[in-house]
Structure 1
Amino acid sequence: MTAPAVIAAVGLGGNVGDVRHALASALAALDALPGTRLLRASRCYRTPAWGMQAQPDFINAAATLQTTLAPRALLDALLAIERDHGRERAADGSRWGPRTLDLDLLVHATAVVHVPGLVLPHPQMHLRAFVLVPLAEIAPDLDVPGHGTVRALLAEVDASGVVALEPGHAASA
């Protein structure tokens, strides 16, 4: 029996190599996942590096999906897409370094999950303009469980460093 389809949101980003090509390729890969359909993709945004700031700016985008994949299966698929695009995760577990492609499962319907390797909604997404600005472009009324709508969350953060690149969306970038 197939699971019912739900709406999931994914954050996309990178700052190494041809990031816009990687984002467009990742969107196509998301749309090709079993039981999954790409609904919307935001424009690309240039954003300052987060965490480790001594690195190039990032290009970020967001996408909404309709999927029958469970949260863990979808996350595993995102990690496989990252690897297919040359993403290498640091063996020491360090975070926020340069990357060819970063795919974050932000929201999976109303799921609230806190297990090793998977936290939903994505931790700190409600505080990060580089997540909220692109997501607000395509899903302003999306509810982030326990936090409120994307639109309301965006109103509470400083988004001055997030700059939209030319019109269009990541899929055509």
Structure 2
Amino acid sequence: MSLAWIGLGSNLDAPRAHVERALDELHHLPLTRRQHASHLYATRPIGPADQPDFINAVAQLETRLSPLALLDQLQALEQRHGRVRERRWGPRTLDLDLLLFDAQCLATPRLTLPHPEMTQRAFVLVPLAEIAPTLVLPDGHDVASLAASLSEEAPPAKIPPRMLPKP
């Protein structure tokens, strides 16, 4: 079994509902179970500012899928949520990013691991540090220290929880 960390985000059509539903659906992917899920966080958009704020979270999965097979499942889940890719960093109903897969480093045309921009994003690192405070990235940086340094600049706002289904 492998461990994978997934970043979730939405800012269209009831974004909280999209993220909460996706957290539940991650638990039911083939050969995969959700182990942990962070709180939800409200964050300003990166890129075009003419869009609503995002709801973000991070989930830890245990999976028997390969990284590319998991990516296929994540992209299919995005499509079921009506994801349309109109512009880079634009608004979306659901965005699922494969952040880490065990300690693998991978660079293919479809997938780069670890996610190449995750260390510059408080909306990824803060919820990741919440569920995996001792996690160390393949480059030796620990997630908690990276999250602390970024959250001082642009801290995401934790959203009060609703009852999420247990994994």
Query: What TM-score, normalized by structure 2, do the two folds share?
Result: 0.92
Question: Runs of 4+ in structure 1 displaced over 3 angstroms?
Answer: 158-161, 167-172
Residue of structure 2 equivalent to 1:8: 4
How many angstroms does 1:61 deviate by?
A: 0.5
Quick check: 1:26 aligned with 2:19?
no
1:41-89 deviations in whole A, cap 9, x for unaligned? 1111000100112211101001000111110000111000000000012
Q: How does 1:64-79 map to 2 (within 5 A)?
A: 64-79=60-75
Cα distance in 1 for residues equivalent to 2:33 and 2:73: 14
- Contact conserved, 2:40 with 2:158, CA < 8 A, in 1? yes
Cα distance in 2 for residues equivalent to 1:157 and 1:115: 28
Superposed CA RMSD in Å reads 1.6
Of residues 94, 103, 106 in structure 2, which corresponds to 1:110? 103
Of residues 55, 60, 72 in structure 1, which corresponds to 2:56? 60
Of residues 98, 101, 115 in structure 2, which corresponds to 1:122? 115
Structure 2: runs of 5+ lacking an equivalent: none
Between the two proteins, what is the percent identity of the paired residues?
A: 48
Structure 1: runs of 5+ lacking an equivalent: none
Cα distance in 1 for residues equivalent to 2:111 and 2:103: 14
Matching residue's letter, 2:160: E
How many angstroms does 1:141 deviate by?
A: 1.4
Q: How does 1:133-148 map to 2 (within 5 A)?
A: 133-148=126-141
Quick check: 1:162 aligned with 2:152?
no
1:125-163 deviations in whole A, cap 9, x for unaligned? 011101011111111112222152210211221444410
- Contact conserved, 1:62 with 1:134, CA < 8 A, in 2? yes
- Contact conserved, 1:39 with 1:64, CA < 8 A, in 2? yes
Of residues 144, 149, 153 in structure 1, which corresponds to 2:142? 149
Give aligned pairs, total.
Answer: 165
- Contact conserved, 1:44 with 1:170, CA < 8 A, in 2? no
